Structure 1
């Protein structure tokens, strides 16, 4: 199902500030670049969702959410079968939310709210239970904690090529000096350029790239040891320590 058409069909004629939908997608679904007039919150019960924009990539593991502001052109890919809940909000009522894409934590309370909301008809009674439920969701949106599962991509042509090459074969043991040699840059020039283009240090970007490479494999049930060694970590403990430091939980919690 094409998400862009699906949203257009439901929202152009529905005068409600918040609409919730439940949609299932198969593994490998690709929704071509599109944008919405509404702000969007995605929540995946199962599977992994990756959204990409010209500025970077965001990966939503199972039981997490993703905020996509109105007007941002994005492509969506599913990794594994995805059971999705989507909120669409009039931007006038979601002021104060991030102006860029953001992966967020979803509390048990918010999960229950999203389940209830997705069961409502699009034209729910704004003065009844439906309206009260949607109003509560609006308050809870501001409490969603950000999760560092984004990977900004540079616009600098040579650096962008190097980053995309790394994403095809990520490795925790790749060093700044290696990239400096590849790009024929001094370490000082490289570090300044990398931070200016991505907003991150090279080490932080490399760690986030490795996490984003690991998440789909974890969601498919692969062993932590196998993933850690494939990514170039000396042992699973080193990988798990980095993972927990970045995301606040161990890799095993992301396995089915």
Structure 2
């Protein structure tokens, strides 16, 4: 997928496994936004309405599976941490023809992949998205201008409400306060920028930090490793 490309809202009668060999996929579901880097994949069950986008470009691999397969035992979209073995299985299966026999090598490999998916570590981190027009507009503004230095109080004032009222509305629609949501947004966009090859200092400035140090501290607090270590770990998967 070239930079800035997207697939508009749609759904399938089959399950879909989305994986980016490089780059980051942004997958929008109803009220949820997922950022999928190369160390993860997302399982979309049949009938799940979704939109796929990439800001900086991504090498997308997509597997479609009949809805009779219940690989994960869930009807919810699920983010999976990908191992080197699963990565190779996905890359191989992505080259198969649409149809193949039950006794074929292709079917054996797909069955192995499906059985392996259920054993992968799952990640429930996503960016909840509000539904009301005012909060949706606010979130789009923050998403498009991550370097904007503005306090939650100033945002509330711009909407002619108190911060307490804004937080109450925000929590009702997303399960988070505005401050918590903005932190989650920064984390997701940091992953996106790391995979796009931006330097740690450059990312810090793009996300509105005055220097790299507070950004590194925030990142380590949330992910347990510094941004550079996170990038190195992701590179080893390739």
- Give the TM interval when normalised to the shorter protein: 0.7 to 0.9
Q: Decide whether the 8 Å contact of 2:220 with 2:227 is kept in 1.
A: yes
Task: Say if 2:43 is the partner of 1:67.
Answer: yes
> Which piece of structure 1 moves more, 117-126 or 151-160?
117-126
Task: Say if 2:226 is the partner of 1:239.
Answer: no
User: Kindly tell me: are residues 33 and 126 of structure 1, through their superposed partners in 2, closer, same or farther at Cα, counting changes over 3 Å?
Assistant: same
- For normalisation by structure 1, the TM-score amounts to 0.77
Which residue, out of 203, 209, 230, partners 2:179?
203
Unmatched tracts of structure 2, length 5 or more: none
Alignment match, 2:59: 83
Which residue, out of 15, 22, 28, partners 1:46?
22
Task: Say if 2:10 is the partner of 1:34.
Answer: yes
Alignment match, 2:106: 130
Q: Per the alignment, in what secondary structure is the counterpart of residue 120 of structure 2?
A: coil
Q: CA RMSD in A?
A: 2.7
Q: Decide whether the 8 Å contact of 1:149 with 1:212 is kept in 2.
A: no
Q: Decide whether the 8 Å contact of 1:172 with 1:207 is kept in 2.
A: no
- In structure 2, how many angstroms separate the alpha carbons of the residues matched to 1:193 and 1:60? 28
Q: Decide whether the 8 Å contact of 2:16 with 2:43 is kept in 1.
A: yes
User: Kindly tell me: are residues 207 and 102 of structure 1, through their superposed partners in 2, closer, same or farther at Cα, counting changes over 3 Å?
Assistant: farther
User: Kindly tell me: are residues 160 and 75 of structure 1, through their superposed partners in 2, closer, same or farther at Cα, counting changes over 3 Å?
Assistant: same
Q: Decide whether the 8 Å contact of 1:26 with 1:81 is kept in 2.
A: yes
Task: Say if 2:231 is the partner of 1:254.
Answer: yes
Question: Could you say which structure has the higher strand fraction?
Answer: 1
- In structure 1, how many angstroms separate the alpha carbons of the residues matched to 2:176 and 2:79? 17
Q: Per the alignment, in what secondary structure is the counterpart of residue 68 of structure 2?
A: helix
Alignment match, 2:86: 110
1:233 Cα deviation (Å)? 2.2
Q: Decide whether the 8 Å contact of 1:44 with 1:62 is kept in 2.
A: yes
- In structure 2, how many angstroms separate the alpha carbons of the residues matched to 1:143 and 1:204? 30
Q: Render the CA deviation track for 1:164-185: whole Å, top value 9, x for unaligned.
A: 2111212586433233322333
- In structure 1, how many angstroms separate the alpha carbons of the residues matched to 2:206 and 2:5? 26
Alignment match, 1:119: 95
- In structure 2, how many angstroms separate the alpha carbons of the residues matched to 1:200 and 1:132? 44
1:97 Cα deviation (Å)? 4.6
Q: Render the CA deviation track for 1:104-162: whole Å, top value 9, x for unaligned.
A: 32111211221232233332332343322222222222233334552221112222222
Q: Render the CA deviation track for 1:177-204: whole Å, top value 9, x for unaligned.
A: 2333223333433322211101223233
- In structure 2, how many angstroms separate the alpha carbons of the residues matched to 1:171 and 1:80? 17
Q: Decide whether the 8 Å contact of 2:142 with 2:148 is kept in 1.
A: no
User: Kindly tell me: are residues 172 and 64 of structure 1, through their superposed partners in 2, closer, same or farther at Cα, counting changes over 3 Å?
Assistant: farther
- For normalisation by structure 2, the TM-score amounts to 0.82
Which residue, out of 156, 160, 165, partners 2:136?
160
User: Kindly tell me: are residues 161 and 80 of structure 1, through their superposed partners in 2, closer, same or farther at Cα, counting changes over 3 Å?
Assistant: closer
User: Kindly tell me: are residues 125 and 52 of structure 1, through their superposed partners in 2, closer, same or farther at Cα, counting changes over 3 Å?
Assistant: same
1:214 Cα deviation (Å)? 3.0
